[in-house]
Amino acid sequence: MRSSPCLLVFDGFADWEPAYAVAELRRSGGHQVRTIGLTAEPVVSMGGLTVLPDEDIADLDPEFIRLLILPGGDRWETAPPDPTLEGLITTLLRARTPVAAICGATVALARGGFLKGRRHTSNGLDYLKEQAPDYGGEEQYVDALAVRDRGLITASGLGAVEFAREIFEELGVFSAEEREEWVRLFRGR
């Protein structure tokens, strides 16, 4: 099996946040994006889309993940950390496999200590400190729509286009000029 970008799906995931990235990874990047679930059961996105995960996270071989995308959703603020997911993130980052988190998913990274020592962003510094009081990464926080640092991509919930751009750069989709043109096209600038 060839390594692929993977999108975590769960009940209530914010389906629009990874949409730009997922579409262009497949269409322009030639990647087969796989969905992974916290279980093998179907999930319903925040927008009401039913998704049957391609794989259960417990059965996933990290060797076949090219990049892990963590979309936002209410679960990050309300559910306890998932030890299997935290273990997967740890394994991926140690192997230098990129991890991309947008909106509330940055809370999972903060709670797991993954943001320490890396430039990152979220829905605001106060938001991260409120959701993850022990995160301890304030000095590396950047007030931007998306930030990429050594394979870790973080984004505000308002930065889906910029999030996609950082994923494209990490995976070599489009040239630098094409990425910026793509952003202008979707941002209307």
Q: Catalogue the active-site residues.
A: 103
**Is 71 in contact with 15 (CB distance < 8 Å)?**
yes
d(CA 53, CA 56): 7
- The structure tokens listed for 114 are 């993954």
The DSSP bridge pattern shows strands 55-56 and 50-51 to be unpaired
Residue with token string 């993954």: 114
**Is 57 in contact with 38 (CB distance < 8 Å)?**
yes
**Is 99 in contact with 68 (CB distance < 8 Å)?**
yes
d(CA 112, CA 175): 33
Q: Is 24 left (phi over 0), alpha (psi -120 to 50) or beta?
A: alpha
